[in-house]
């Protein structure tokens, strides 16, 4: 096998894996693509899995940390649920630019790549999220891995203190973080939260009661607040 062919072969495998791990393609979708042209479905499926596994070994050879993830179809949209070393590191809405920014940040800070596979930590998280949507869970009991700057982690810690069924404002979060003049930076850190629902950034609204932005979309934010019994803003500190 020539060196050129080896390089092309390696790049082909890597491109397919990148398509899988960046949500541009899934194993199921690639299976369908090949199935259109070939009836040997079992062999094709094995081929795709082999490519996936080759990619995993490729990243291991590069000394990359491997973050496992799977897509969960929630009632409000698709969530990418990821774990590393038994800890949940991602519960992120897949639509929009914020998701790609969160993925890029995690890859950079953890020297990591994403691998499409489930883990016990991911399955536990999904079970608890389903209970949340069913209205039977108010608190999550999951080990978390926060990936960000110290400032971002401070903001995310403040979000975790917002009780179920209660809203707060960006200004209030800024005050709690001792950064009352950095409301915009606080808002950016909230927007960078890669653990939606688990770290409840949906409970942060505008001073005038408007929902403002949300990575999952305003409709999803309203749905989450409705699940928690919030039809009108009930701010922290109010009776």
Each residue's pLDDT, cut to its tens digit, for the chain (239 residues) gives 444 444 444 555 555 555 554 444 444 444 444 444 344 444 444 555 555 555 555 555 557 889 999 999 999 999 999 999 999 999 999 987 899 999 999 999 999 999 999 999 999 999 999 999 999 999 999 999 999 999 999 999 999 999 999 999 999 999 999 998 999 999 999 999 999 999 999 999 998 888 888 999 999 999 999 999 987 655 454 44
- Going by C-alpha positions, the residue among 234, 187, 185, 180 that lies closest to residue 212 is 187
Annotation says 54 is catalytic = no
CB 116 within 8 A of CB 27: yes
CB 68 within 8 A of CB 115: yes
- What's the pTM value of the predicted model, to 2 decimals? 0.74
Of 76, 89, 91, 201, the active-site residue reads 201
**Residue 19's pLDDT is what?**
55
The SS3 call for residue 169 is strand
Q: How far apart are the first and last CA of the chain?
A: 74
Residue with tokens 């499926």: 45
- Going by C-alpha positions, the residue among 135, 123, 98, 95 that lies closest to residue 224 is 135
């Amino acid at each position: 096998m020539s060196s050129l062919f080896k390089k092309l072969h390696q790049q082909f495998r890597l491109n397919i894996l990148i398509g899988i791990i960046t949500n541009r393609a899934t194993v199921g979708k690639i299976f369908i693509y090949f199935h259109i042209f070939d009836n040997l479905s079992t062999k094709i499926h094995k081929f795709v899995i082999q490519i996936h596994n080759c990619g995993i070994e490729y990243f291991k050879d590069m000394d990359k940390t491997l973050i496992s993830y799977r897509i969960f179809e929630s009632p409000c949209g698709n969530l990418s649920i990821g774990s590393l070393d038994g800890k949940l590191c991602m519960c992120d809405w897949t639509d929009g630019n914020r998701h790609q920014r969160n993925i890029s940040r995690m890859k950079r800070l953890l020297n990591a790549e994403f691998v499409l596979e489930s883990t016990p930590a991911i399955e536990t998280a999904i079970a608890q999220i389903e209970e949340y949507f069913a209205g039977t869970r108010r608190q999550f009991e999951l080990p978390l891995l926060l990936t960000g700057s110290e400032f971002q982690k401070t903001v995310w810690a403040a979000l975790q203190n917002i009780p179920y069924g209660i809203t707060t404002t960006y200004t209030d979060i800024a005050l709690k973080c001792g950064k009352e003049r950095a409301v915009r930076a606080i808002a950016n850190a909230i927007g960078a939260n890669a653990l939606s629902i688990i770290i409840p950034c949906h409970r942060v609204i505008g001073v005038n009661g408007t929902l403002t932005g949300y990575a999952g979309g305003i409709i999803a934010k309203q749905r989450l607040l409705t699940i928690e019994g919030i039809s009108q803003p009930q701010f922290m500190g109010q009776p």
